[in-house]
Structure 1
Amino acid sequence: MSYRSGHCDDHQHAHNHGRQSARQGIGQAPAASRHAQGRDVQNSGYTLVHAGKQVRFGPVAFWIVIGTVTLLGMWSAATATYFAFRDDVLTRLIAHQAEMQYAYEDRIAELRAKVDRTTSRQLLDQEQFDQKLDQVMRRQSVLESRTTALGAVPDLQTTGSIRAPSRGGAASDSAASVVPKPSPISDTAVFVAPPDREARLESRAPVAIHPPASRLAKNQGVDNIIVRLQNSLDQIEGRQLAALNSLEDRMESRMRRMRSVFTDLGLDMTQLQAATPRAAMGGPFVPVKLGADAGPFERQLYRINLTRAQIDRLNRTLVLVPYRKPVIGEIEFTSGFGVRSDPFLGRPAMHTGLDFRAATGDPVRATANGKVVSSGWSGGYGRLVEIDHGNGLSTRYGHLSDINVKVGDFVRIGQVIGTVGSTGRSTGPHLHYETRIDGDAVDPQKFLRAGVRLSAG
């Protein structure tokens, strides 16, 4: 099949017409021209030729056909391209979807890991908090046990001078004064823990410490509370150690002073301790042991207990040594020990004691434990009481206006044995006081000065 346009026919007819014009001559020219014009009008369009057959189209129809064919071609090309690249597009789409899914799964895994880390951190923080709290509780328990141990240390009795009785009350029968005990724990920190745990540190002055209410600052608040509790316990422990050190120093100082009494008086402490009568006591022997895990506090407390036991033994011995004042108040001597001018004869004479200024009726007290060996009138002494303290020590109290004890009575330190008077060879109311060792009179001031040193500090 083929087609030819009208322009091709015109060219062919023109060529043929030229040849015919040459053959027929000039006379046929007008007819040929009319025929050519008719053929031009008749052949204006497009002709399709196939197998000797011709199909003529007009210009509009021809271009419609050409446009349709072109559109169909373009459509075919587009369709072929689509199907050619369809697999790649789907592959890319699937890959993009898979990438988005993987990214989503990775994000979920990351968030899950973050949650796990947060949970682990919280568990670790809780575990650390529990450990710190347990440490605080154990330390608090230790401090409480230390406080109990400090409170168990008995008071030391001062074997010094006799105290004056308070107004409106009877005179005390004991010359002991109490040494202040070390102060126990005096601070308190009450810690309110989270709902799952609670710790409480209490003593005599409660001071509440509440954690911050803000959850954001909860961990920091708990840490601050733990730190404050530890600081409070540090202060309490410091005060306990200071009290313990003070107690140990005071006991050691007192034991040295007590030992110095025997040295100053020239007495054999070992002999006196062996001869000291023992009070009624007993029980099974349980040796004192210091644990292998004992710390500095326990070792120091152990030393204090040993020192206290020695002080107790010295106290039991010293109660038989007459180094206390026989009268209450400031000491004022009207006559000392040694050679003096006799108040009646005016000649030198040996004064075997001390004359204490006092008023008639003032109480006279025993200066040490002992047994009354003389009670009554005794020449120049007037009314006299003599007490044997054992170990060769004895004391005499003369010129009494009244006597409250009898021979054979056992008297204790500070017990009233009579009243001041002016009986016997006396020029006025006063107390004549003697101290004797193995029957020989010695200066009582030596004993009194030892007592003053012992009671000092």
Structure 2
Amino acid sequence: MTSVQKDGFGRRRVPHTVIIARGDDVRHFTVRPWVFAVSTAIASTLALSCVATGGYLLLRDDLIASGTASEYRLERAYEDRIAALRSQLDRAVSRQILDRQSVESKVDTLIGQQEELKARYAKLQPLLDRARSTGLLSASIPVPQPKPADDAPVSALAPGSGESAPIETIPDAPSPLAYAPAAASPALARFGLVDHSTTGSVLRSGSATQPASVTASSPIPVALIQKIGASIERVEDGQIADLTSLVESARSKTEHIAGVLRSEGILVAVAPAAAPTSAEGGEGGPLVEIAETERFDVSLAELDQALTDLQVLQRRTDRIPLARPVDTLAVSSTFGVRPDPFLGRSAMHTGIDFVAPTGTDVDATASGTVVQAGVNSGYGNLVEVDHGGGLVTRYGHLSQILVNVGDKVKAGAIIGRVGTTGRSTGPHLHYEVRRDGSPIDPSRFLRAGRRISSFG
């Protein structure tokens, strides 16, 4: 039996009944209002839960997507920074390699320059020996070693002298890359260390310019490169200057000797370089500069010719009687007319009488060959030396003769000793100079000899 309820207005409320039929089996359920309310509340709660869950999931995806994008941007920034740093590192390494190759190339060039300097000294040595033999040099010139010590000076010939002058030490570098040019030196441009766009400043490795210091990419200090390069450049320039000085000295000495002989009336064949040039003759022609690489060879050739001219003239003057026969200045009779010491009347005196004690050494006044050695009438013991070119010298009144006919003698060789043999009033040396058999005044030769000796 189903109960019937009434609402507040007197209407009848029929309860909700749920009937379930299955074949002959029929069931029914009465749904109470509070059950319906509870079920509705539960369903609403579940629906709200589903909606809230869906909204949360949607919002969560947006948050996740936003966080992922931020992380992605940060990761990309780090990757870009790493790529930039890697690129900079690659450029730095490449620049260092290029700079090292550049330095090695310059150093190789400088080492080649040092080898060239050694080769130059090898060429110079024979000429220096010849210069010493002519009297232009009095001291040997040291040849630098391949690897000079840290404190060992490299010397070059001091201009106008026979001494060696120290030129700055060339130190050993701390590595095999030891040589390069100096600042403010022409070698800088030659070895590519000057940036002409920055008024000759030293190039920095991979950048603009920098002072002489150690660079980050250079294996050796730039200051050391410059110091070594400057030393090499000074040695090269010093060689040219020394060669020029020697050439001038050789030519000056040749011209001096030739001029003295001409002024004294002593005829001698003079080398072309020593012959006087006519002041009236004109000179000219296009200016052709000497290449830097040819300066040394040109100077070397000039020195060779100048020394040849000087040596030729010296060989000729070596056979001209310019020296004194005895070490004394005392003269009792000169060349020319004088009263004869035995007869008292005027007579020609064909030589000069040098007063010296008996036994004083008598020297040959020039190189030559002994053509007479014995007693000769009024000369007493006589030695006659033929010097070639028609020139002969005679040494009379000797107490002792120390040479034989046919002997070759040099200037200064002792050929006898002072005496008073023959037509003589006391110990002295009668000295004569003859050309083509005729006596000439020996004083001209002696005066020329003194002037030449004073020149050095």
Question: What range is the shorter-chain TM-score in?
Answer: 0.5 to 0.7
For 1:145, the equivalent position in structure 2 comes to 119
In 2: Cα distance, 1:184 partner to 1:51 partner: 134
Alignment of 1:214-293 (within 5 A): 219=218, 222-270=221-269
Tell me, in whole angstroms, the C-alpha distance in 1 between the residues paired with 2:427 and 2:136: 30
Please tell me the residue identity of whatever aligns with 1:123: I
Percent identity at matched positions?
39
Ranked by relative contact order (alpha carbons within 8 Å, sequence separation 6 or more), the top structure is 1
Alignment partner of 2:366 out of 357, 368, 377 = 368
How far the C-alpha of 1:395 sits from its partner, in A, is 0.7
- Give the SS at the match of 1:298: helix
**Contact 1:150–1:182 (CA<8 Å) still a contact in 2?**
no
Per the alignment, residue 91 of structure 1 pairs with 65
Is 1:306 the counterpart of 2:279? The answer is no
Instruction: Give the 3 Å change call, closer, same or farther, for CA 147–157 of structure 1 in structure 2.
Output: closer
Determine if contact 2:366/2:387 at 8 Å carries over to the other structure. yes
Name the SS for the 2:397 alignment partner. Answer: strand
Contact kept? 2:240, 2:295, Cα under 8 Å: no
Q: Which amino acid aligns with 2:62?
A: D
Distance 1:406 1:216, change over 3 A: closer
Structure with max Cα Rg: 1
* RMSD after superposition: 3.9
Which residue of 143, 159, 173 corresponds with 1:192?
A: 173
The match for 2:432 among 427, 431, 434 is 434
Deviations 1:91-129 (A, max 9, x none): 333322322332222122122112212211211221122
Q: Deviations over 1:116-148 (max 9, x none)?
A: 122112112211220221121011111111111
Alpha-carbon separation, structure 2, partners of 1:216 and 1:271 = 62
Q: Is 1:80 aligned with 2:59?
A: no
Residues 125, 96 of structure 1: alpha-carbon distance in 2 compared, 3 angstrom cutoff: same
| Equivalent runs, 1:288-437 vs 2, <5 Å | 295-328=294-327, 331-437=329-435
| Aligned CA distance change for structure 1 residues 246 and 93 (closer, same or farther; 3 Å) | same
Q: Which moved more, 1:292-301 or 1:368-377?
A: 292-301
State the 1:378 CA deviation.
Answer: 2.4
Q: CA deviation at 1:260?
A: 2.6
2:80 corresponds in structure 1 to 106
State how far apart, in whole Å, the 1-side matches of 2:55 and 2:330 are: 137
Aligned mates of 1:215, 1:299 — CA distance in 2 = 39
Give me the whole-angstrom Cα distance separating, in 1, the residues matched to 2:393 and 2:81.
102
Q: Kindly indicate whether residue 107 of structure 2 is the aligned counterpart of residue 133 of structure 1.
A: yes
> How far apart in 2 are the matches of 1:72 and 1:306?
124
Q: How has the CA–CA distance of structure 1 residues 51 and 347 changed in structure 2, closer, same or farther, with 3 Å as cutoff?
A: farther
- In 1, Cα distance between equivalents of 2:452 and 2:270: 20
Deviation at 1:403, TM superposition (A): 0.5
User: How far 1:435 moved relative to its partner?
Assistant: 1.0
- Which residue in the other structure is 2:187 paired with? none
Q: Which has the higher helix share?
A: 1
SS of the counterpart of 1:441? strand
Shift of 1:447: 1.1
CA distance in 2, matches of 1:351, 1:261: 26
Deviation at 1:181, TM superposition (A): 5.2
Please report how far the alpha carbon of residue 428 of structure 1 lies from its aligned counterpart in structure 2 after TM superposition: 3.0
Q: Distance in 1 between matches of 2:253 and 2:108?
A: 41
1:402 Cα deviation (Å)? Answer: 0.5
CA distance in 2, matches of 1:250, 1:91: 96
DSSP 3-state at the match of 1:355: strand
Query: Aligned partners of 1:126 and 1:49: how far apart in 2?
Result: 108
Contact 1:354–1:434 under 8 Å retained in 2:
yes
- Amino acid of the structure 2 residue aligned with 1:92: S
> Structure 1 272/379 Cα, relative in aligned 2: closer, same or farther at 3 Å?
farther
How far does residue 396 in structure 1 lie from its aligned partner after superposition? 0.8
- Paired residue secondary structure (1:191): coil
Give CA deviations for 1:18-67 in whole Å, capped at 9, x if unaligned: xxxxxxxxxxxxxxxxxxxxxxxxxxxxxx9997998479xxx99xx98x
TM-score, scaled relative to structure 1: 0.67
Give the structure 1 partner of residue 130 of structure 2: 155
CA distance in 2: counterparts of 1:191 and 1:178, whole angstroms: 31
Say if 1:300 and 1:440 are closer, same or farther in 2 by CA, change over 3 A: same
Q: Which among 426, 434, 444 is matched to residue 446 of structure 1?
A: 444
Shift in Å, 1:306? 1.7
Equivalent pairs, count: 360
What one-letter code is carried by the residue in structure 2 that aligns with 1:295? Answer: E
Give the Cα–Cα distance (whole angstroms) in 1 for the partners of residues 58 and 424 of structure 2: 151
- TM-score between the two structures when normalised by the length of structure 2: 0.67
Q: Which amino acid aligns with 2:225?
A: I
Q: Distance in 2 between matches of 1:442 and 1:362?
A: 25
Displacement after TM superposition at 1:404 (Å): 1.2
Letter in 1 for 2:404: K
In the TM superposition, residue 397 of structure 1 has moved relative to its aligned partner by 0.8
Distance 2:227 2:221 in 1: 10
Where structure 2 has 5 or more consecutive residues not aligned to the other structure, the ranges are 1-6, 18-30, 145-152, 155-168, 181-212, 273-289
Residue pair 2:399, 2:421 contacting (<8 A) in 1 also: yes
Alpha-carbon distance in structure 1 between the residues aligned to 2:15 and 2:362: 171
Q: Tell whether 2:118 aligns with 1:120.
A: no
Checking the alignment, whether the CA contact within 8 Å between 1:272 and 1:317 is kept in structure 2 is no
SS at match of 1:189: coil
d(CA) in 2 for partners of 1:50 and 1:439?
185
